Amino acid sequence: MAAKKKANVLDFAREYLRNNRTAPYAEVRDAAKKRKLTLYPISYGRAQALEGIVKVAKYGSKKKEAKRAGKAAAGATRGRGRPRGSKSKVSSGLESIDGLVQTVKNLQAERDDAVRLLDRIRALLDAR
């Protein structure tokens, strides 16, 4: 002889909610306890959703919403350090070898100008 199959608590909750759509959790839980079933709040909520009593959000919709909110907030605040994509003044002419060579030539020309200026100042001071 096969033993009598124990009723599923979710099926019991759905059946109870079909008969009384506004039944609170405590009422359904107590009725389940009389039949020696344990009803948890998650099972009650799932039974309500399956019966169409409450609206159910699509899976993953909250994650997408949080990502969208995070992107909007991220644009408003800025963290520490230099912003991405900005270049420092030192490395502005050093993108390539040609830039490096041009920077060295400019520095040599400035140095030569400074040396000429110092020579003229010495000559003026010696003339006195």
Give 1-59 pLDDT, tens digit per residue.
445 555 699 999 999 999 999 999 999 999 999 999 999 999 999 999 999 999 888 88
| pLDDT reported for residue 6 | 55
| pLDDT reported for residue 87 | 67
Report d(CA 107, CA 66) in Å as an integer: 52
Report residue 67's pLDDT band, with 50, 70 and 90 as the boundaries: confident
* Of 28, 33, 40, 37, the residue nearest 8 (C-alpha): 37
DSSP state of 80: S
Q: Is the pLDDT of residue 75 over 90?
A: no
* Of 8, 7, 10, the residue nearest 43 (C-alpha): 10
Report d(CA 108, CA 119) in Å as an integer: 16
Report d(CA 75, CA 23) in Å as an integer: 47
As to burial, measured by CB atoms within 10 angstroms (0-12 exposed, 13-18 middle, 19+ buried), residue 51 is middle
Residue with tokens 């490395």: 91
Q: Picking from 43-47, 94-98, 110-114, which range would have the lowest pLDDT averaged per residue? A: 94-98
Q: At 76, list the tokens.
A: 């408003």
| pLDDT reported for residue 1 | 44
77 against 97, higher pLDDT:
97
What's the average model confidence in pLDDT over 102-121?
Answer: 95
- Residue 48 neighbours by CB distance under 10 Å: 20
Q: Is the pLDDT of residue 96 over 90?
A: no
- This prediction has a pTM of 0.45
